[in-house]
A and B are shown apart, each in its own frame.
Chain A
């Protein structure tokens, strides 16, 4: 296992070396594919000058605002729709009508209302993260073990306490799934909305570098995005293990049996 990882890493490094050599030897058009070393140099310059951290911070503020708002609105809504059949019936058609809209198409709509302001991006992210969060929470709340609910009722827990102490923990794995699926969607949408309508942020930075033919800078931006995507995912997994150790254990037990 460890050996195969090493092979993969070596192969990857080999490819990168090949890229560098081919670019140095002039086999590739430097206006399209500059040497790797130049990209890395530009990247580290941009990191130290604070340019890239600034753009990332701008983008992440927008992304976090939309993501957190989507979680605050759609987790409770999902639980409500999962528990109450009448609420579900009331909202079902509206959800089914809005869901097939590809999220980027909402960018022009949001631009109409909010212009190029931050609110535009936040709304687009909010809209696109809504569906995975809502549908997964809904699914979880609907499939809560009846025995759990009945036991809680027998013990005389109030409706509020049942939601807090029984339903929320029981469907938290699905909520986590929804949040996790939304994470890359959030990143994609912040990049798209900054490409289409913005004057800052990492998405704008990449597109702008391309338009000015600062190709190494463009690749540096893409590299930043790859790191960002990876870090966000790792951070999510870390928080998940920190906050829900019981669920990690539960899964392990289930796998073992």
Chain B
């Protein structure tokens, strides 16, 4: 039924646009958008933009994730480090991360490095905050038990602290996923000459609305697929935890 409602909406769109040519520059018929999408994908015109966006996204996201987990673990584990950086974090965090784009342009110019840097900055925060939270909220008994069993610091970190904080870290990683995509597309719009964000804005400025909509659909599909992929990885990586929770509930 939901699909029916959705198709009905598309049908109205299609008919409304076909019967009303004045509307077409803004809202071309769905069928035309889809055929345009097919064309730009097959001709490879959009594929290069897609690959550029994807590679910037991956670089930024993975770099941010690894930096944030390491930094977050340190800040969560060592009380002194946390008390030192707390004020810095609290000052920087409420600033909308896109405000960093002009600074990045000054420092790095216009190009891949700038876009990746901006993405790293923005997607760092959720993972960092969640990792700190996760590490700080570990039950003391877990760590004490580890010590009693004679684990050294490194083993406690790998076998006790990180697994216990993992659910928090995963939450942060999921939030950062969509933030990273937002920042890549935004940076491409504000200061880029390639990538899907640039493509969409550029097509809008040249009034090629079909191309623009095709780009929007492609970004949405990309976001959807990345999210799906993340959930798959999460289910695979956190399988042990589901078993544990199930056992607890019995």
- Taking a contact as CB atoms under 8 Å apart, the answer to whether A101 and B94 are in contact is no
Sample 29 A-B pairs with CB under 8 A, ordered by A number.
Answer: A4-B82, A4-B83, A4-B86, A7-B84, A8-B84, A32-B107, A90-B5, A93-B3, A100-B220, A102-B219, A104-B189, A104-B197, A108-B200, A108-B201, A109-B213, A184-B94, A188-B97, A191-B99, A192-B186, A192-B190, A196-B190, A206-B99, A207-B190, A209-B102, A219-B103, A221-B99, A222-B103, A225-B95, A229-B94
- A187 interfacial by beta-carbon distance below 8 Å: yes
Kindly state the separation between the CA atoms of A106 and B201 in the bound complex, as whole angstroms.
Answer: 10
Q: Chain A: residues with CB nearer than 8 A to chain B?
A: 4-5, 7-9, 11-12, 15, 31-32, 86, 89-94, 97, 100-109, 111-113, 184, 187-188, 191-192, 195-196, 203, 206-207, 209-210, 215, 218-219, 221-222, 225-226, 228-230, 232-233
Kindly state the separation between the CA atoms of A116 and B103 in the bound complex, as whole angstroms.
Answer: 24
A contact patch SS: helix
Kindly state the separation between the CA atoms of A232 and B92 in the bound complex, as whole angstroms.
Answer: 15
CB-CB under 8 A for A112 and B83, given A94-B5, A94-B6, A218-B102: no
Distance of A196 from chain B, by nearest CB (Å) = 5
Known: A89-B1, A108-B201, A207-B101. 11 other contacts (CB 8 A): A32-B106, A100-B227, A104-B197, A105-B185, A105-B219, A113-B26, A188-B96, A188-B97, A209-B102, A222-B95, A229-B95
Kindly state the separation between the CA atoms of A100 and B224 in the bound complex, as whole angstroms.
Answer: 5
CB-CB under 8 A for A207 and B102, given A94-B9, A101-B216, A104-B189: yes
CB-CB under 8 A for A93 and B6, given A109-B204, A191-B98: yes
CB-CB under 8 A for A111 and B6, given A221-B99, A229-B94: no
Q: Chain B: residues with CB nearer than 8 A to chain A?
A: 1-3, 5-6, 9, 26, 79-80, 82-88, 91-103, 105-107, 178, 181-182, 185-186, 189-190, 197, 200-201, 203-204, 209, 212-213, 215-216, 219-221, 223-224, 227
- Taking a contact as CB atoms under 8 Å apart, the answer to whether A226 and B95 are in contact is yes
Kindly state the separation between the CA atoms of A51 and B93 in the bound complex, as whole angstroms.
Answer: 25
- Taking a contact as CB atoms under 8 Å apart, the answer to whether A12 and B87 are in contact is yes
Distance of B128 from chain A, by nearest CB (Å) = 15
- Taking a contact as CB atoms under 8 Å apart, the answer to whether A215 and B106 are in contact is yes
Distance of B213 from chain A, by nearest CB (Å) = 8
CB-based nearest A residue for B180: A102
CB-CB under 8 A for A11 and B88, given A89-B1, A90-B1: yes
Kindly state the separation between the CA atoms of A102 and B9 in the bound complex, as whole angstroms.
Answer: 21
Distance of A51 from chain B, by nearest CB (Å) = 17
CB-CB under 8 A for A187 and B96, given A93-B3, A226-B91: yes
* Complex partner residue of A102 from B79, B105, B181, CB under 8 angstroms: B181
